[in-house]
Every structure is written in structure tokens, then in C-alpha cells.
Structure 1
Amino acid sequence: MTDLKTSESPDLQVDFDIHSPEDVEGVYDVYRELRGERPVAHSSKYGGHWVITSYDDIHDIVRNPNVFSSRVLNIPDSIGQDGEMIPIQIDPPDHTQYRSIINPLFSPKRMRDLEPRIRDVVTELLDDVVKKKKVDFIEAFAREFPSRVFLALMGWNLDDAPQLNHWVDTMVLGVPGASEEENNAVREAAGIEAYAYFAEMIDARTENPGDEEDITQILMNSTFDGRELTQFEILNILLLMMIGGLHTVQGQIAHTIIHMAENPQDRKQLVQNPDIIPSAVEEMLRYESAICPARIATEDVVVGEVQVKAGERVLIPFAAANRDPDKFDDPDTVDLTREPNPHLAFGAGNHRCVGSHLARLELRVAFEEIHTRIPDYRLDPDDPPVRHLSQVKGVHRLPLIIGESL
């Protein structure tokens, strides 16, 4: 054990920052280099943390919550939340009880029942897109679509979508170019505003209960270990749902559209053979995995022949795992019919994404309708997309020329 390398070993040090805008276009090259040379590397950013890049190591970590706690999910440690976001920052056994409340709300059957409503939303948005020569696809579709679906599901006011999306963007991204201290402050301010918004909503519903069957009301009527959920618990569940429901699908749609615009042969596969869209969704989830969570070691543990000590944080980019050539043949190439495809885009183990069924449904319906209504589109070489790197990788702007192809 004494011969193992540690976080102080000079040859394990890397200058890696998951929030750096300079690395957004080359992050997969960074992951490839780290995986080949230092699959367990150490960055000094944000007080120091490990960066893990191999599929097997990441898969083992997410399936071992006793040693790798989710109590620390973010690097830096907070994105403005007050306490742990539930259930994603809760460890067993309490995590199991919280998931027993939330899992039925996002069950496969419940999500399938939403398909007609989801398809209506997509159709309405595309009715406007097809009339235009050029759109910012983020504003015209990728942000609006999951916002409409998720706010209706939660029972939140659709008119508040711009404010909710602003809070999510601030908490996830901070302010580009700002210092860590400045970003901590703006994230905390956004979190306080979001908590106040949800607290007022809960108070109003408590004073004037209605017949709503939306998820917010169901949570308010739920119990934990025989007692009602506290307002603090409900607030931290709603905060997590806001971030997951409004940000991740938006980014996945945008990354996929960019790839299909740049690779018309793949887009034509979807147009000519829509039956492959479910497998294409899985492949794009693998190829452009947005989520990069963290964990904290609860005890000394060896990862990839490196000593990780109790209290040290580890960053586990699912995007790095999903491009590991030891797990996937030709991982940097898109294969829309890849089988098997054991990607980790939704994580694994007890913290596997509770919204995965909804995300898959939204993505499938979106790509069915988009490639029926708009078989040809391309990027504007004079106005390229603007991506961002963070623990939820996404796209700021996506100028798209409609009706033309490479």
C-alpha cells in the first residue's frame, strides 16, 4: 500500500478544469490522453480532486455508494443548493426510501402515457421552425421543448420558464470568465431565488389545495418513513428536478442536431429508416454524454493502482467512460445501430437517473418528428454553434439553416 501513488505524486498532476470554456471543443481529446497516460489523474482545481477516465473504474465507482458517497456531487462542492439535493446527494439507506417515492412518478408506463402530449408539443414548435430559413435551434426548439413538457408534468407555470431556465443556467454554468468566488456568489443567489419560488408555490398550494395530479402535488402528499415530507425536503427534490428536467435534454438534443448537420449520411439513415431512431438515441447518448458528476471517498480505497484517500473527491465524466475503446469498438465513431451499447449516460447503480424514461421518450419523439418534417438542415459556417463545458455539457447557441444540407 505504501508504494501506491497518491494525490501528491507529481506524475499524476493535470491542469484539468471541467468548467473551462477553452477545453469545450477538445475535451474528448483530453479524456483520450488522460485515459492512455493517467486514467486516474489529479487536478489542483477547486481545492483538488481526482479525474477518472476509464469505463471500468467509473462503473465501479457509481455502483459502490458505501465507499464513494454522493454527498459531494459537484466540483466546486455547491452550485447554490442549500443542503443535499434529494435523492441524488443522499446515500443508502435513506436514498432507497426517497427513490421509492420518486420512481413511480417517472415509471415507464407513466411516461408512455405522456407520448401524445409530447408529440403535440414537438409538432407545434416545428410548425414555426419549418417556416423559417434560419433559426437558433436552442431558442426555437431545444430549450422550449423540454421546458413545456417538464413544466406541465410538474404543474409549474409555463410563463415562468424563462426565469426557471435562467436559474438553472446560472447554477450549472456560473458566469463565464468570473472567479470561483464570484461564481459561488451568483450560484448561491440563483439558488436562493429558486428556493423562494418553490416555497411560495408550496405555501399557495397548502392554503388552497386543488385537484392537481401533477408531480409537485404528489410530492406534497407523500410520506417518508411514515411522516410527511418536510418543506425543506420537497424544496431540495424540486430543485434537483428543475435542473435535470430543463437542462440535460436540451443539451442532448442540441449535440445530436449538430452531429446530424455535420454528418448528413447519419441524418439520412434516420430519415430513410425511422425504425432505428431508438437505437440512434442510445448511440447519441453514448457519443455525447452530458453529465459529469463527482463523488467523495468515505475511506481509503485503491482505484486503478492509485491510492484515493478518505475525504478526497473524484470527478467521473460519463463522457470519458463512454468513449473508452476497452468497452466500445471504434468509440469515436457514431454507429446508429450499435449493439450492445452499455453506455453510462444515465449513470448506474442506485443513483441511476430517475428521469431516464422521460428523457428517452422526449428524444425519440423529437427525432422522429424533426426528421420527418425537416429532412435537410445544416450549420452556418459563418455562425457556428457555441458549446459550453461544465458538469452538464451543453450548447448556448445553435444557428441552423433549414431545408439545406451539406
Structure 2
Amino acid sequence: MSTPKTAESPELQTDFDIHDPANADSVYESYARLRSQCPVSHSTAYSGHWVFTRYEDIHRIVRDPEVFSSECVNIPPTIGQDGPMIPLEVDPPDHTVYRQLLTPLFSPTRMAAIEPEVRKIVNELLDEMAGQERVDFITAFAKPLPTKVFLTLMGWPLSDAPKFHHWTDTIVLGKPGASEEEATEVRMAAAMEVYAYFAEMLDERMENGGGDQDDVTAVLVNGKFQDRELTQFEMLNILFIMMIGGLHTVQGQLAHSVIYLAEHPEKRRQLVDDLDLVPTAVEEMLRYESAITPARVVKQDVEIGGVQLKEGDRILIPFGAADRDPEKFDDPDDVDLTRDPNPHLAFGGGRHRCLGSHLARIELRIAFEELHKRFPDYRLDPADPPHRHLSQVKGVEKLPLVLGQSA
């Protein structure tokens, strides 16, 4: 039996940094290199952490919360939040109680009921794009769609959408080019504004007797953790993860998908000619551009992938790396709009599988359908290419799109 490697093993060392903008356009090449040379690597960034790149390892990690805790899913450790993002950064058994409270809010039945409202928002945004030869797809569609859906679910004013755009961009991206300390400071300042807004909305609802059960805010105000009411602290941190998890992820997924379909008109034409492909196309784009890269904390010494992990180690588990693993997916760097089955990890797995996956799928499906009905042809602008960003939520900041033309 060979001796497991450790964090000190020279052959495991890498300087991979999930927040380095230089990696934004080539992160999948980095994952492929690490997976082939050193699938369990030790990065020197952010005081040291592990980076996993194989599907099998990452799938095991997300399904074993006793060994791989979600008590901190960020590297560096904070994005400005005041306490754990509930239920994402809570382990069983408390996680189970929170999940039982929140799961009905995002059940397939409840999400199906809001589908007409989502379609209405999608078509209103497309109406505004109609007649224009060129748009920034981020500001015109990808950013406002999930924000307006989120505000609708909360029962909050749609006119507040610009505030949420600013807050989520700042919290996810920090201050590009700044030091870790400066980026943390701007994240925390934005997060404090978010908490103040959430507290105001909750106070208003409480003053009105809690309201009915038609929106998420009312459910939280009236909700209980076992036999007690939720504290304001709990409600604020639940809302925080709903905002981060629901806005930037869908924005990025829409943008990455449109970039791919603009660059591959034959795939776009396949979709336009057969909109029945939309459900499998959505799943394939989720696999191909899995945006989330969470972290875990090791709770007990464990060996995995021939490497010895120690209690307290932090590990990065890029779902994008898992979902391009050739050991799991045939031709993983190619898009197959008919791929089935498609066991991607874009929404994670195990007990912490994304609570809003049903909502995300509805938003993406309707967007794919309506966009390609209204704008079957579009292309990128070679003189003004997209600007991607890399963080633990991979996304796109700018996406100039020429409408009515094909590459």
C-alpha cells in the first residue's frame, strides 16, 4: 500500500486562484490540466486550500456532510455575510429542519404556478429588445430576469431591481484588481446595505401582522424552527443566500448559453427548428457551463484520491470541473443538445442540492423558448467581445449581442 500524499507534497502544489480574472476565459483548460496531472491539488492561494477536479471525488464530497462540512462554502471565508447563509452553511441536523421549512417554497407545484408570471417578465424584456440592432444582453435580459422573478417571489417592489444588481455584483465580484482585504471590505459594505433592506422589508411585513402565505417573506415571518419562531438573524441569512443563489447564477447561465449559441449557429438552428429540445438543451448548458464552485471544511482526517486531508482543511469543489470529466461524460467539451442521461452537478448533490433548482430550470426553459422564438438569429460583436469573470460564481459582466444576424 502506497503512502498517501499530503499538503506538503511538492507534486501537489498549484497556484490556482478561483478569483483570478486571468483565468476567466481559460478555466476549463486549467481544470483539465489539473485533472490529468494532479486531480487533488493543493493551492497556495488564500492561506492554502485543496482543489478537486474529478467527478467521482466531488460527487462523494457533496454527499458526505459528516466529513465534508458546509459550515463555510467560501474561499476566502466570507463574501460579507453576517453569519451562516441558511440553510447552505448549516449541517444536519439543523439543516434538515431549515430545509423542511423552505423546500415547500420552491416545490415543483409552487414553481409551476408562477410560470405564467415568469413568461410575462421574459416577454416584457424581449419586447424592449425588439427593434434594436444591438443590445448588451446582460443589462437587457440576463440581469433583470432573475432579479424581477426574485422580487416577485418576495413580494417586494420591482422598482428596487437596480439596487439588487449593484449589491449582487459587488458581493460576488468584490473589487476587481483589489487586494483580498479591500475586496472583503467592499463586499461587507454591500452586504450591510442588503441586510438593512431585508430588515426593513421584514419589519414592514411584521407590522402588518405577518401577511398571508403567498410570498416568501410571509412564509419566513410566519415560519418556525421546530417549536419557536425564526429569529430576525435567521431570516436575514436565509434571504441573503436566496439572493446570491438566485440572481447571479441564472444571469451567468443565461449569458454563457447565449455566448455558446451565438458562436455555434448550427446548434442554435437545431434548437430554433425544434423547441422540444429546450429541456435537454437547458440541462446540457447547465453541464457545459456549471457556474458554481463551492467549498467545504474537512471535519475529520480522511484519505481521498490518494491524498491525506486533515481536520480543518478547506477544499474547493468546482462543479464545472466535475461536469467536464471525460471519465463521466462522453465528449465532455462538446455540447450535445440531446444528451440523456445527464447526471451533471450544476445544482450540487446530496442534502445541500440547490433549493431553487426547479425555479432556475423554469427561468432557463422559458428564456430559451421565448428568446429563440423572437430572435432566432444573433451573433457576437467581434469588435466588442463578451467580458467574463471568474469567482465562485462564474459569470459574464458584459455581452454585446447583434440581433437579427448570424455568425
**1:252 counterpart residue number:** 253
Aligned residue identity for 1:314 = I
Q: 1:123 to 1:310 in 2, by over 3 A?
A: same
2-side partners of 1:136 and 1:185: how far apart?
Answer: 29
**2:12 counterpart residue number:** 12
* Partner-residue secondary structure (3-state), 1:42: strand
2-side partners of 1:58 and 1:241: how far apart?
Answer: 23
Moved more, 183-192 or 89-98: 183-192
**1:197 counterpart residue number:** 197
1-side partners of 2:276 and 2:18: how far apart?
Answer: 36
Q: 1:340 to 1:211 in 2, by over 3 A?
A: closer
1:37 corresponds to 2:37 = yes
Q: Is the 8 A contact 2:39 2:53 kept in 1?
A: yes
**2:317 counterpart residue number:** 316
**2:26 counterpart residue number:** 26
Instruction: Give CA-to-partner distance per residue, 1:197-244, whole Å, 9 cap, x none.
Output: 111111122122344621111111010111100000000000010111
Q: Is the 8 A contact 2:205 2:221 kept in 1?
A: no
* Partner-residue secondary structure (3-state), 2:120: helix
Aligned residue identity for 2:289 = E
* Partner-residue secondary structure (3-state), 2:51: strand
Aligned residue identity for 1:39 = P
Aligned-residue offset at 1:131: 1.1
2-side partners of 1:80 and 1:144: how far apart?
Answer: 23
**1:384 counterpart residue number:** 385
Aligned residue identity for 2:396 = V
Aligned-residue offset at 1:388: 0.3
Q: Is the 8 A contact 2:80 2:187 kept in 1?
A: yes
2-side partners of 1:211 and 1:256: how far apart?
Answer: 37
**Within-5 A mapping of 1:227-238:** 227-238=228-239
2-side partners of 1:201 and 1:109: how far apart?
Answer: 26
Aligned-residue offset at 1:304: 0.2
Aligned-residue offset at 1:18: 0.2
**2:65 counterpart residue number:** 65
1-side partners of 2:320 and 2:345: how far apart?
Answer: 8
1:294 corresponds to 2:308 = no
1:359 corresponds to 2:366 = no
**Within-5 A mapping of 1:86-125:** 86-125=86-125
2-side partners of 1:58 and 1:211: how far apart?
Answer: 41
1-side partners of 2:368 and 2:3: how far apart?
Answer: 52
Aligned-residue offset at 1:267: 0.3
Moved more, 367-376 or 161-170: 161-170
2-side partners of 1:126 and 1:85: how far apart?
Answer: 34
Aligned residue identity for 1:238 = L
Moved more, 208-217 or 307-316: 208-217
Aligned-residue offset at 1:76: 0.3
Aligned-residue offset at 1:3: 2.3
1-side partners of 2:315 and 2:3: how far apart?
Answer: 21
Aligned residue identity for 1:339 = D
Moved more, 285-294 or 240-249: 240-249
**2:142 counterpart residue number:** 142
**1:265 counterpart residue number:** 266
Instruction: Give CA-to-partner distance per residue, 1:94-116, whole Å, 9 cap, x none.
Output: 00000000000000011111111
1:186 corresponds to 2:194 = no
Aligned-residue offset at 1:311: 0.2
Question: Unmatched 5+ residue regions in structure 2?
Answer: none
**1:374 counterpart residue number:** 375
Aligned-residue offset at 1:190: 1.1
RMSD of equivalent CA atoms? 1.0
* Partner-residue secondary structure (3-state), 1:76: coil
Question: Unmatched 5+ residue regions in structure 1?
Answer: none
2-side partners of 1:178 and 1:282: how far apart?
Answer: 35
Moved more, 267-276 or 162-171: 162-171
Aligned-residue offset at 1:130: 2.0
* Partner-residue secondary structure (3-state), 1:337: coil
Query: TM-score when scaled to structure 2?
Result: 0.98
Query: TM-score when scaled to structure 1?
Result: 0.99
**1:50 counterpart residue number:** 50
**1:239 counterpart residue number:** 240
Instruction: Give CA-to-partner distance per residue, 1:11-40, whole Å, 9 cap, x none.
Output: 100010000000011100000000000000
Aligned residue identity for 2:341 = P
2-side partners of 1:24 and 1:283: how far apart?
Answer: 21
Instruction: Give CA-to-partner distance per residue, 1:43-72, whole Å, 9 cap, x none.
Output: 011111000000000000000000000001
Structure 1 runs (4+) greater than 4 angstroms displaced: none
**1:346 counterpart residue number:** 347
* Partner-residue secondary structure (3-state), 2:95: helix
